[in-house]
């Protein structure tokens, strides 16, 4: 009779560990995606700034 509760408690512990591991993994995935999106946003901002600067220079040359 004691075997069943022990098996159940060890199964619950392994489930809890897996849930915690998934939580940690999910945090890492969210952090990675966030980092990638921020990096892409910064690159787009720099590209837009360079493009606007080039257009501004061309407009000033024509004026």
Task: Give the DSSP per-residue string, 10-56.
Answer: HHHHHHHHHHHHHHHHHHHHHHHHHHHHHHHHHHHHHHHHHHHHHHH
Rounded to 5 degrees, φ, ψ at 2 are: -75, -20
Q: Tell me: the pLDDT tens digits for 14-54?
A: 777 887 777 788 899 999 999 999 999 999 999 999 999 99
Would you kindly state where each structural domain of the chain is located, as residue ranges? 10-62
Using the predicted structure, report yes or no on whether residue 8 has a pLDDT greater than 60.
no
This prediction's pTM:
0.61
């Amino acid at each position: 009779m004691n075997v069943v509760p022990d098996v159940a408690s060890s199964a619950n512990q392994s489930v809890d560990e897996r849930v915690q591991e998934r939580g940690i993994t999910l945090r890492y995935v969210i952090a990675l995606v966030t980092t990638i999106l921020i990096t892409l946003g910064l690159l787009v901002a720099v590209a837009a700034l360079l493009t606007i600067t080039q257009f501004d220079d061309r407009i000033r040359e024509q004026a």
